[in-house]
Chain A
Amino acid sequence: MGVRMFGASVKRKEDPAFLSGKGRYVDDIVLPNMAYAAFVRSPFGHARINGIDKSAALAVPGVLAVLAYDDLPETLKERPLPLFVQVAALSQPKMPYTLAVDEVRYVGEPVAVVVAESRYIAEDAAALVDVDYEPLPAVADCLAALAPGAPPVHAGSDNNVAARMPSKIGDVEAAFAGAPHIFKERIFQHRGGAFFMECRGAIGSYDPVLNSLLMYISSQGAHRIKRGLLDLFDLGDHQIRVVTPDVGGGFGPKGSLYVEYPAVAACSMLLGRPVKWIEDRRENFVATHQERDQYWDVEIAVDGNAKILGVRGTMTHDNGAYTPWGIVLPWISVATVPGPYVVPAFHIDMISVLTNKVPATPVRGAGRPQAVVVMERLMDRVALELGLDPAEVRRRNFIQPEQMPYKVGLIFRDGRPVTYDSGDYPACQAAALDAIGYEGFRARQEKARQEGRYIGIGIGNAVEGTGLGPYEGATVRVATNGRLVVYTGATPQGQSHKTTLAQIAADHFGVGIDDISVETSDTATISLGVGSFAARTAVNAGSSVHLAATKVAEKIKLVAADMLEVSPDDLELKDGFVHVKGVEEVRKSFREVAVKAIGMPGFSMAGGLEPGLEHTAYFTPDQSTYANGTTVTEVEVDIETGRVKILRLVLAHDCGRVINPLVVDGQIVGGVAHGVGNALYERLVYDDEGQPLSTNFGEYLLPLAADVPRVEIVHQETPSPLNPLGIKGAGEGGTIPTTASVIGAIEDALSPFGVRIAEAPISPQRIVELLGEAALGRTR
């Protein structure tokens, strides 16, 4: 075998095409005779539709069709979009129909779709569709939606509770009853949206000859979308194929099945022409799922040594108007609160609330950054009240490595008890503190203050369930021309799957990564798939590639052993050949072996072997594998303007064994930027009627190159015992602990003024406001 690929920082296979403008994103695909769709969307947070006049739009030259609910195929009129994650706690499951029936429940909800010869014409005509709306009372804030007498988000419902779920460990009443110290916090958190650079898009191409539908969709998993379309259209498995081409970022929300997809499919069926829809950025702000608000009312009980006795409270979550991901997002939030700490008693009641806003579904980190903010705010509060060093309070409460595997006592969204498999949390924090020079920080801080500068340091510790099941499969095949290919339902959106999965396979065949094609997310190539989200692909698809490649490599040796009349154990694979160890000339090419392996017409298969050089494996992890990380951030706050400058940011993390350090570092640094955005910049603003007030990149701030710090990464490596490669997910580890660390650092910087921060994100204006309030409080 040549140079080992697993673990090497190899340059990515994907890049030469992307760098020279040869990527194939959905909007780059042009099919013959294609038409273009544009949607008519609700301008109201809540309204009844009394009528739709399409005549003016239909009169525009070049317009081919205008469809509203009444014009949809029968099955789409009968059925709302399927809900894939039903649980008992979800008392009001709500799913939309492809186009609004007679009521719209958020600004941006599709009411009609116009198809035309060009996108320009489709958009012109969409503006001419005359919808007679009767505005209904709307409710945008999730606390307001819970208040008695709040208008119902869905007319006719008697309340807006989508779900209630308690999460408990031990006896929390008893823990608080005798506690020497109890501290209470009310924390508001807001996370914005994904804001991938490539907006969503879909092409539907109906083939009347085969009565089949081909869809190209910018998604995070073609198979789940196909499953949804099968339900909606009542077609046979062979009649729908979904392909996901190159994807310009996903970060969670591209994993959902959206109403635009069946709508585009229906247009193509009706017209017998391919139909393309590409979301524009304004639509992206109103129609792509977001994460948004959570209100946490929490208390912590600690003993005289700052050891946690219990945590309790409630969390109210802004779900939006429909429930496509059930309670997954708030559930993850609550289950992540205990983090790396021993929490003997715990009780948080989660309430997920319907609001007149676009649905909230997971965005990179998936509710976990909020949980970390909550727990770390509580740890800082304990430190402040008891006069202890914040790092020390955390040290006293860490789960120790010898306690692994550690049962937290909660049930995770994978349905299994939260059981941390491995990791060394004290060492991870220690490494991060060491790297930033925590020891000397207080002296630096003092000196800065004497110069009139306010610097602060903050710690964020997180444990993250990664590699969620059920599975992600892989087929590894040697074609009869000797070429190697891996097929998988995994769906990259920038995570380098084509490189990392090729790295895993390459070692089994003694080849380089460019000798292996990795074909992702095409439902025609592998029958089952789940998709790429929840930092699950390296673990699931990676393990499946490993298992399948192991089998195929074994088979190459078996078949070749017969051809060369040697024992399989005497063979090894290299550069497209299988040869006798030490005698490279005695060899067969993969091509020869593959041809042999398919048999000859009329002849029996030799040795009772199954035909073909291929194997499909579906690695099914028993439970999630838990990665962990610590962010430590040093900031400077300008007390005049409230401006926050990040001076240094260290992230120590453990994602088990690393397939490609270059790729993992990229994931971490990108994730940190997202966490910084959530701490300082990103905010989706709505008015009380659910009217979005941030619908472009001037109003919604994304972190730019000058806003984010250079991330100093410290690697720890505790192999996961739960999969054959020892890997854990790495896609979200940069984001999850970072927001909490930045918020903590700002509070620390402002500690001379007694400012407490119980919210994220925090803007310069708000910092100035808090400074003002603190000053008034002091003089009062």
Chain B
Amino acid sequence: MSQTRSIAVTVNGRTYEKTVETRRTLVDFLRVDLGLTGTHIGCEHGACGACTVRVEGEAVRSCLMLAVQANGKSIVTVEGLAQGNALNPLQQAFWEKNGLQCGFCTPGMLMTISEFLEEVPSPTEEEVREALSGNVCRCTGYQAIVDAVLQVAAQARAEKEAV
């Protein structure tokens, strides 16, 4: 019923070649075609941020992008954050600060924040809250997430100064 096209997409360092319907969203491509179910769907209208992944480094809502638009691009999803079994510092801080409850918004939060901290390495609380305002969490009230982000930023600063 719909047209198809062949695409090649690199996800978390691995390249996948698939034929997809042109109307297929990137999030469905990741979740259904590649089985990478860590990226979640919370609204399918670009409002909740649960589906956030990084495309060429940029945090993007994968429910608003088509799989064919990702052709030739490099994507990182939540599955690509940990090094082996070792959580990265942001994941670790979420764990320590109780930055998640049901865990459903978490992958999108992590992807949004990872981009944000690259751009604003030493944010204020207000800047963190502003940066998180495209990601909805119904469980945590955000406070523990904000604390986790501030902790990672502080750690990174301390490490830099130590060098």
Could you mark each residue 657-694 of chain A with 1 if its beta carbon is under 8 Å from any beta carbon of chain B, else 0? 00000110111011111100000000000000000000
B48 near A697: Cβ-Cβ < 8 Å: yes
Shortest C-beta distance, B96 to chain A (Å), equals: 6
**B interface, over-half SS:** loop
Closest to A660 in B: B98
Interface flag for A585 (CB, 8 Å)? no
Closest to A672 in B: B141
Shortest C-beta distance, B152 to chain A (Å), equals: 13
Closest to A21 in B: B38
Interface window among A241-249, A390-398, A715-723: A241-249
Please provide the chain A residues from 633 to 672 with a CB less than 8 Å away from any CB of chain B in the complex. 662-663, 665-667, 669-672
Shortest C-beta distance, A705 to chain B (Å), equals: 4
A11 near B102: Cβ-Cβ < 8 Å: no
A16 near B103: Cβ-Cβ < 8 Å: no
A706 near B133: Cβ-Cβ < 8 Å: yes
B39 near A21: Cβ-Cβ < 8 Å: yes
B141 near A671: Cβ-Cβ < 8 Å: yes
Name the A residues within 8 Å of B37 (CB-CB): 21, 25, 27-28
Please provide the chain B residues from 49 to 87 with a CB less than 8 Å away from any CB of chain A in the complex. 50, 77-79, 81-82, 87
B95 near A11: Cβ-Cβ < 8 Å: yes
B141 near A16: Cβ-Cβ < 8 Å: no
A663 to B101, CA, bound (A): 9
Name the A residues within 8 Å of B50 (CB-CB): 197
Name the A residues within 8 Å of B26 (CB-CB): none
A697 near B47: Cβ-Cβ < 8 Å: yes
A696 to B136, CA, bound (A): 13
A670-B91 in contact given A702-B136, A705-B145 (Cβ < 8 Å): no
Name the A residues within 8 Å of B79 (CB-CB): 20-22
A774 to B21, CA, bound (A): 59
Interface flag for B120 (CB, 8 Å)? no
A19 near B138: Cβ-Cβ < 8 Å: no
A703 to B137, CA, bound (A): 9
B23 near A120: Cβ-Cβ < 8 Å: yes
Interface size on B, residues (CB 8 A): 59
Could you mark each residue 188-200 of chain A with 1 if its beta carbon is under 8 Å from any beta carbon of chain B, else 0? 0000001111110
Shortest C-beta distance, B149 to chain A (Å), equals: 10
Interface flag for B8 (CB, 8 Å)? no
Closest to B95 in A: A15
A662 to B1, CA, bound (A): 52
Closest to A495 in B: B101
Q: How large is the interface on A (under 10, 10 to 19, 20 to 34, 35 or more residues)?
A: 35 or more
Please provide the chain A residues from 249 to 265 with a CB less than 8 Å away from any CB of chain B in the complex. 249, 251
Name the A residues within 8 Å of B23 (CB-CB): 120
B101 near A704: Cβ-Cβ < 8 Å: no
A198 near B133: Cβ-Cβ < 8 Å: no
Q: Which of B94, B102, B145 contacts A247 (CB 8 A)?
A: B102
Interface flag for B154 (CB, 8 Å)? no
B141 near A711: Cβ-Cβ < 8 Å: yes
B144 near A197: Cβ-Cβ < 8 Å: no
Interface flag for A18 (CB, 8 Å)? yes
Interface flag for A14 (CB, 8 Å)? yes
A496 near B101: Cβ-Cβ < 8 Å: yes
Name the A residues within 8 Å of B136 (CB-CB): 197, 697, 702, 704
A673 near B141: Cβ-Cβ < 8 Å: yes
Please provide the chain A residues from 1 to 32 with a CB less than 8 Å away from any CB of chain B in the complex. 11-12, 14-16, 18-23, 25, 27-28, 30
Interface flag for A493 (CB, 8 Å)? yes
B91 near A248: Cβ-Cβ < 8 Å: no
A666-B144 in contact given A23-B38, A27-B41, A197-B102 (Cβ < 8 Å): yes
Shortest C-beta distance, B69 to chain A (Å), equals: 17
A666 near B133: Cβ-Cβ < 8 Å: no
A197 near B48: Cβ-Cβ < 8 Å: yes
Shortest C-beta distance, A739 to chain B (Å), equals: 14
B138 near A249: Cβ-Cβ < 8 Å: yes
Could you mark each residue 120-163 of chain B with 1 if its beta carbon is under 8 Å from any beta carbon of chain A, else 0? 00000110111011011111111111100000000000000000
A197 near B40: Cβ-Cβ < 8 Å: yes
Interface flag for A228 (CB, 8 Å)? no
A251 to B23, CA, bound (A): 34
Name the A residues within 8 Å of B105 (CB-CB): 197, 248
B95 near A12: Cβ-Cβ < 8 Å: yes
B47 near A698: Cβ-Cβ < 8 Å: yes
Interface flag for B44 (CB, 8 Å)? yes
Shortest C-beta distance, A38 to chain B (Å), equals: 13
Closest to B134 in A: A704
Interface centre among B101, B133, B145 (most CB of A within 10 A): B101
Q: Which of B94, B129, B138 contacts A196 (CB 8 A)?
A: B138
Shortest C-beta distance, B12 to chain A (Å), equals: 10
B44 near A281: Cβ-Cβ < 8 Å: yes
B91 near A11: Cβ-Cβ < 8 Å: no
Could you mark each residue 97-112 of chain B with 1 if its beta carbon is under 8 Å from any beta carbon of chain A, else 0? 0101111111100100
Name the B residues within 8 Å of A711 (CB-CB): 141, 143
A61 near B1: Cβ-Cβ < 8 Å: yes
Interface centre among A19, A248, A493, A667 (most CB of B within 10 A): A19
Name the A residues within 8 Å of B77 (CB-CB): 21
Name the B residues within 8 Å of A18 (CB-CB): 100, 103, 106
Name the A residues within 8 Å of B45 (CB-CB): 281, 696-698
Shortest C-beta distance, B107 to chain A (Å), equals: 6
Interface flag for A708 (CB, 8 Å)? yes
Shortest C-beta distance, B54 to chain A (Å), equals: 13
Closest to A9 in B: B98
B104 near A673: Cβ-Cβ < 8 Å: no
Name the A residues within 8 Å of B7 (CB-CB): none
A249 near B78: Cβ-Cβ < 8 Å: no
Interface flag for A483 (CB, 8 Å)? no
A248-B144 in contact given A19-B95, A19-B110, A496-B101 (Cβ < 8 Å): no
Closest to A251 in B: B138
A666-B140 in contact given A16-B87, A248-B103 (Cβ < 8 Å): yes
Interface flag for A85 (CB, 8 Å)? no
A61 to B1, CA, bound (A): 8
Name the B residues within 8 Å of A198 (CB-CB): 40, 42, 102, 104
Interface flag for B36 (CB, 8 Å)? yes
Q: Which of B103, B138, B144 contacts A14 (CB 8 A)?
A: B103
A673 to B102, CA, bound (A): 15
Please provide the chain A residues from 697 to 751 with a CB less than 8 Å away from any CB of chain B in the complex. 697-698, 702-706, 708, 710-711, 734
Shortest C-beta distance, B136 to chain A (Å), equals: 5
A556 to B47, CA, bound (A): 54
Q: Which of B38, B104, B143 contacts A197 (CB 8 A)?
A: B104
Could you mark each residue 29-41 of chain B with 1 if its beta carbon is under 8 Å from any beta carbon of chain A, else 0? 0010001111111
Interface flag for A494 (CB, 8 Å)? yes
A523 to B48, CA, bound (A): 33
Could you pull out 15 A-B pairs where Cβ atoms are within 8 angstroms? Answer: A11-B96, A19-B95, A19-B103, A19-B110, A20-B38, A22-B79, A246-B103, A281-B42, A669-B144, A670-B141, A673-B140, A704-B132, A705-B133, A705-B142, A708-B142
Interface residues of B (CB under 8 A from A): 1-2, 21, 23-24, 31, 35-45, 47-48, 50, 77-79, 81-82, 87, 91, 94-96, 98, 100-107, 110, 125-126, 128-130, 132-133, 135-146
For the complex of A and B, the 8 pairs showing the least CB-CB separation, nearest first, are A21-B38, A248-B104, A18-B103, A494-B102, A494-B101, A673-B141, A697-B47, A28-B37
**Besides the contacts A674-B141, A705-B132, A705-B135, what 14 more A-B pairs have beta carbons closer than 8 Å?**
A14-B103, A19-B78, A19-B87, A20-B81, A60-B1, A120-B23, A248-B102, A248-B103, A249-B138, A494-B101, A669-B140, A702-B138, A710-B125, A711-B141
Interface residues of A (CB under 8 A from B): 11-12, 14-16, 18-23, 25, 27-28, 30, 60-61, 120-121, 124, 194-199, 246-249, 251, 280-281, 493-496, 662-663, 665-667, 669-674, 696-698, 702-706, 708, 710-711, 734
